[in-house]
Chains A and B, each alone.
Chain A
Amino acid sequence: MKKGSVAKKLSAKYSAGHPFETFMRILSYFKPYKGRVILAGISLVLNVGCTVGGTFMLSVIINDYIMPLATHAAGVTVADFALMTGVMATLYLVGALLHYCYNWIIVNMTTLIQRTIRDQMFERMQKLPIRFFDTHANGDIMSCYTNDTDTLRELMANGVPYLISNGLTVLGIFIAMMVINWLLTLFIVVMLVLMFFIVKYVGGKSGKHFVRQQKEIGVLDGYVEEHIEGMRVVKVFCHEDAEKEAFDAINGKLRFASRKAHTYANILMPILGNLGYINYAITAIAGAFFIATGIEIGGIMNFGNLIAFLQFSRQFSAPIGQMSQQMNSILMALAGAERIFALIDAEPETDEGYVTLVNADEDEEGNLVEAEGFTGKWAWKHFHKANGTTTYVKWKGEVEFEDVTFGYVPEKTVLKHIDLVAEPGQKIALVGSTGAGKTTITNLINRFYDIEDGKIRYDKINIKKIQKPALRRSLGMVLQDTHLFTGTVRENIRYGNLTATDEQVEEAARLANADAFIRHLPDGYDTVISGDGSNLSQGQRQLLSIARAAVANPPVLILDEATSSIDTRTEKLIEKGMDRIMNGRTVFIIAHRLSTVRNADVILVLEHGEIIERGSHDELLAKQGRYYQLYTGAFELE
């Protein structure tokens, strides 16, 4: 995890910068589902209407049917009572059905929207420049896909709809209560205001402590990660007791913060619930008084009204408590949504290039023509906008750096005034300590990063004019860290060239000397690799990576510590295959192992971003400079 990211994440987690804009943007995702939104809205409103109406019917039934029937008043029959009960039942039933209908639509819409958002994030992520991944921790990006989309869906599926339905319920109940007796209603409103302040106070305290709890979890997380990683050192130094002590201190702090947070969260509901009961009791007393004394302030009070009113007063406080609790999670979800949108809005890699690389052939007159499929020849295809013509330039494989200066961050220059020319078919080796800038040079050729100063030319074409996909397809890279994807061995090799036949895949594996070990795997080429190939050794993964580059068959090869984990015996074995892969191609080799670079046409020794020596192996040994020191062990690369 990158330094400081925990604290940053925390402060970002609990505050949405632009809640309103974010909310409107979330709403925009509902546009394609207009019909369903309307249907859901209607269902929601009707459901609330039915539920409130059903309870309101209660007072009607008691006052107008049960009471007259009980006192044997004229004009009402049991059949009427049955009819009204049937009406009430129908209202309830319709309400419940609407509820389901509404739920169905919401689940349908929100899962689809969640999918849209995920797809958008992933699609954008693929287009982002490498720089983005340097400045954002993987864990943070990952949590956009998991936590943040989940809480966002929760917000869409439950948070906002409940807020609306609760709001409507409260409004409906309020109206119904006002109709029955406005004086008692006013009293309940006063109680609600009181509850509101309690919720605000307790909820605020709880929120504050939850933030603290998250902070303490972050501290614990960092400590545990570092110290479990270093567990073997702990064992060797018998440091277990000190570890336990330090852990206990952090654990204790977490427990304290956690206890506080949960205490406030836990007491909120009992307080609200029981204030509701007090409310209920006072309403009952007042109502009973009104009935007993016959006072008619605020509305007629009778048994039916009182029972319905009591029922309403219970239903009234619950949604208010829920609403206040939901506000917190809504704000948190909005903060998550902001992070999601930040990813979707991140500036993608720009590509202003227009030159592409095509397979080429020569016709009878020796002119270059575009060819279908692999011919072993390539041509740069220029489309000239000015006159609408297309010209082809033969691909040769020359790479030239002219006074290139570069730094990943403005404050720190990594490469200083680099000049180098790789002639077509030459093998160029880069030697130097970690951080000297070897990998940076290759990162610039394939335009993972753009240079600030100087020029890089590929067959005399400024690489900025070449379309990035064309440029990168022309460069076969075997990177320092080998990354494999979940899938079969065959699929992983084929990653280099999706149209490769099984024979081509196996041929490439043979070239990389990977065929033998692949055949020893349980299912041979169809063995499924999982978890970034953790069931393979580092050396085996590198062989697969080489096979992958071989099947891609690119004109230029960049080997960045490609054989570092392959033992010398195997390296000898793959040498022939490597020679065939490298044959006729321009090759950049980065290696620690000096024997790997020995045969290179030109060896460049880098130190602190500068080329301090250049020449062939023999020339450099004769020079008795840094390369000589490295070779004799008088100096060590770090």
Chain B
Amino acid sequence: MSKKKKKKDMNVLGALAGCVGEYKLASVLTSVFVVFEVVLEVFIPIIMSQIIDVGLEEGLSEYTFTLQLGASHTPIFTVHSNTDFIVICGVMMVVMALFSLLFGVLSGKFAAYAATGFGSNVRQKIYYKVQDFSFANLDRFTTAGLVTRLTTDITNVQMSYMMVIRVLVRAPVMLALALGMAISINAELAIVFAVALPVIVVGLIVGIVVVFPRFTKMLKKYDDMNEITQENLIAIRTVKTFVREDHETKKFKKISALVQKLQFSAEKILVIAMPLMQCVAFACIIAVVWFGGNNIIAGDMYYGSFAAFLNYIMQILMSLGMVAMVFVMLVLSRASAGRIAEVFREVPDIADNPSPAAESVADGSVDFENVDFSYSEKSDVLNLEHIDLHVKSGEIVGVIGGTGSAKTTLVQLIPRLYDVDSGAVKVGGVDVRDYRLNTLRDAVAMVLQKNVLFSGTIRDNLKWGNPDATEEQIEHAARAAQAHDFITSFPDGYDTELGQGGVNVSGGQKQRLCIARALLKSPKVMILDDSTSAVDTATDAAIRKGLREEFGSTTVFIIAQRISSVQDADKIIVMNDGKIDAVGTHEELLAGNRIYQDVYYSQQRGSDEAAAVYAEEEVQA
């Protein structure tokens, strides 16, 4: 691993560690209880050995239990017969086991509390972070990608965290204590571990080194295979149209055979691990039987210690197995952690202004001062070039232009959905960057081209514009947007459930609801980005009339394909290829602007191009 990569990994860990937060104590307690549990577990076999070695010693007449602290021996009490000794040791074992059980349960409870808390913190942090994303940030992530991070990836990371605070503490402590015990019983015999441990460690490392690349290769092909399946699911109509079922099946079988081959080549190595562990464990047992047996024969060791030693072999090897398992888990969840960290690392493009120059938006005037803008920082192609535009408060502004002429780009700068490269956009006479985002966006309502309604009732959705809206306000906005009549025609009226994505209403109805939702903000500036494309011309005109009469002080920007949607505007902007081609009233433009004339006459005559231009834009929307 290169240094740079290591550093990156550390950053990932650091970002995740920050999410432990209020669950630090529970995490520490988990580990502490785990240690207690392990200590007791390790001491049980040694007491058992005492039962056999001392308790069964013939003619035991007196045994003093002492508390040994360093060099000082404090006698506690003395027993006088074998049976007493056995009973006391037995009770001690049972009590220790009970305590160990208690600690085990406690550590389990705290681990669950800490790990799920950690997981929920990570989830919250991701979601909060996404809330801070600007449009440009959102452009860089897919919805599916973010959903995966919030579900599967977090589950993996949460599991790993639990493993770390439980097993990764348990295994080394058990290894050390059991090893210590084994040495204290018979140091010479413990030499077997000096042989066994390196064998296992080397074996595991070699295994991982060999298996890992094979698994990576297999997983890549596995992804490819899934992609083929996914593609076929989405494109099943295309497959059937061209009668390519057999072709696709052949393609799939080829890759599924390859996946099988690679999987087998990886797993046949992986499955050596268990027999290898078994082999080492058995070798240790054999060695202990032989050397230990000879010790007993020579009178240097007794049966109880012998049995305890065998027990420690199992504990030591088991703990090594656990460590290996945890490492596999951690490696597998590294990808998840990396994906999560990607979100953490993403810097919101648009930061809120901490010291705003203005507390509120004074009026609905909008000014573009020599604005240049580009979506991509690297590209030297400007999406907007030298935009100078001045709109007075309360004006209605139409925006006309072909696809790709940057109409949407232009208006998205007003609520500061993107930041300009140079120049300035001012609302109410103040640079949009000098407002708090909430102040600005509350004053500038925008009905997006690709708009979304959420599951819930119509009323719930409209209240997005103003959570405290009264019944009259809601109705007022709905009437202005020409939505009231169709809403009340539903059996449940304003309480009609919309379903995810607003599936229960038609396209034109959806657009009108979105306009009503925006109107409820009582905005100073209202932007309609091709928001009436599925509404017929009569209703479209009624909406504009409603806006003019009921929201007269609001500045309105209307992006449209139809000349009829903008011809009564105070000012019409003709956009062409990222630049303003002309600004004027309908009459002025009709007299002097080539593009506007083209569009107008084509639509008036109902000629080919007109219908073409118009309908194409509609489909784009």
Interface residue ranges, A against B (CB under 8 Å): 3, 51, 54, 58, 61-62, 65-66, 69-70, 78, 81-82, 85, 88-89, 92-93, 95-97, 99-100, 103-104, 106-108, 111-112, 114-115, 118-119, 122-123, 125-127, 130, 133, 138, 141-142, 145-146, 217, 220-222, 224-240, 242-244, 247-248, 251-252, 254-255, 258-263, 265-267, 269-271, 273-275, 277-278, 280-282, 284-285, 288-289, 291-293, 303, 306-307, 310-311, 314, 434, 446, 448, 468-469, 472-473, 475, 477, 479, 483-486, 495-496, 498, 531-532, 548, 552, 561, 564-565, 567-568, 571, 592-596, 598, 631-638
Contacts and interface: CB of A to CB of B under 8 A. Distances in A.
Contacts, number: 426
Main SS of chain B's interface residues? helix
Given A238-B441, A483-B235, A637-B534, 17 more contacts: A58-B285, A66-B297, A85-B290, A96-B279, A115-B256, A122-B252, A142-B226, A237-B464, A242-B467, A273-B41, A278-B93, A284-B48, A288-B52, A306-B303, A446-B241, A568-B616, A636-B533
B150 A237 contact: no
Interface string B69-97: 00000000000001100110110011011
A303 B52 contact: yes
A267 B105 contact: yes
Interface in B518-567: 521, 533-538, 562, 564
Given A126-B248, A277-B41, A142 B289 contact: no
B231 A567 contact: no
Nearest to A277: B97
Pick the most buried of A122, A227, A564, A565: most chain B CB atoms within 10 A of its CB.
Answer: A122
Interface residues of B, number: 164
Contacts of A307: 52, 303, 306-307, 310
Contacts of A89: 282-283, 286
Interface stretch (B2-10, B115-123, B179-187, B392-400): B115-123
A258 B158 CA distance: 11
B603 to A, nearest CB: 8
Contacts of B90: 281-282, 284-285, 288
Nearest to A136: B233
Interface in B216-263: 224-249, 252-253, 256-257, 259-260, 263
Contact of B44 (A248, A265, A280): A280
B271 A85 contact: no
A278 B296 CA distance: 28
Q: What are the 10 tightest A-B residue pairs by CB atom distance, in nearest-first order?
A: A270-B104, A266-B108, A483-B235, A281-B93, A285-B90, A92-B282, A262-B112, A274-B101, A103-B271, A230-B452
A108 B264 contact: yes
B100 interface: yes
A282 B95 CA distance: 11
6 contacts: A228-B147, A277-B44, A278-B97, A633-B603, A634-B538, A636-B533
Contacts of B100: 270, 274, 277
Contacts of A306: 52, 303, 307
A146 B226 contact: yes
A12 B408 CA distance: 46
Nearest to A122: B252
Contacts of A472: 240-243
B71 to A, nearest CB: 31
B506 to A, nearest CB: 5
A93 to B, nearest CB: 7
B213 interface: no
Contacts of B296: 66, 70
Given A228-B143, A240-B131, A104 B282 contact: no
Contacts of B236: 130, 133
B231 A483 contact: yes
Contacts of A561: 619
B98 interface: yes
Contact of B109 (A96, A235, A267, A571): A267
Contact of A263 (B113, B276, B606): B113
B112 A263 contact: yes
A111 B130 contact: no
Nearest to B314: A314
B165 to A, nearest CB: 11
Contacts of A254: 120, 123
Contacts of B293: 61-62, 65-66, 69, 81, 85
B267 interface: yes
A468 to B, nearest CB: 8
B311 interface: yes
Contact of A95 (B155, B267, B278, B417): B278
A117 to B, nearest CB: 10
Contacts of B124: 247-248, 251
A469 B113 contact: no
A138 B236 CA distance: 11
B446 A311 contact: no
A115 B286 contact: no
A475 B467 CA distance: 54
Contact of B134 (A221, A235, A469, A592): A235
Contacts of A592: 615, 618-619
Contacts of B612: 568, 571, 593, 595-596
Interface in B46-61: 48, 51-52, 55-56
Contacts of A261: 112
User: Which of B274, B278, B609 has the most CB atoms of chain A within a 10 A radius of its CB?
Assistant: B278
A89 B243 CA distance: 63
Nearest to A262: B112
A130 B130 contact: no
B491 interface: no
Contacts of A596: 612
B11 interface: no
A275 B451 CA distance: 61
B143 A262 contact: no
A142 B233 contact: yes
B403 interface: yes
B260 A226 contact: no
A593 B256 contact: no
A95 B130 contact: no
A104 B269 CA distance: 9
Nearest to A571: B612
B143 to A, nearest CB: 5
Given A70-B297, A259-B112, A595-B611, A634 B117 contact: no
Contacts of B608: 595, 598
Contacts of B97: 274-275, 277-278, 280-281
Contacts of B44: 277, 280-281
B515 interface: no
B486 interface: no
A606 B285 CA distance: 85
B275 A133 contact: no
B429 interface: no
B441 A235 contact: yes
Contacts of B537: 633-634, 636
A307 B128 CA distance: 60
Nearest to B258: A115
Contacts of B207: none
A58 B241 CA distance: 71
B198 to A, nearest CB: 19
A115 B404 CA distance: 48
Contacts of A238: 437-438, 441-442
Contacts of A314: 311, 314
A638 B56 contact: no
Contacts of B112: 259-263, 265-266
Nearest to B539: A636
A292 B82 contact: yes
Contacts of A565: 619-620
Contact of B448 (A88, A232, A293, A638): A232
B488 interface: no
B132 interface: yes
Interface centre among B293, B446, B613 (most CB of A within 10 A): B293
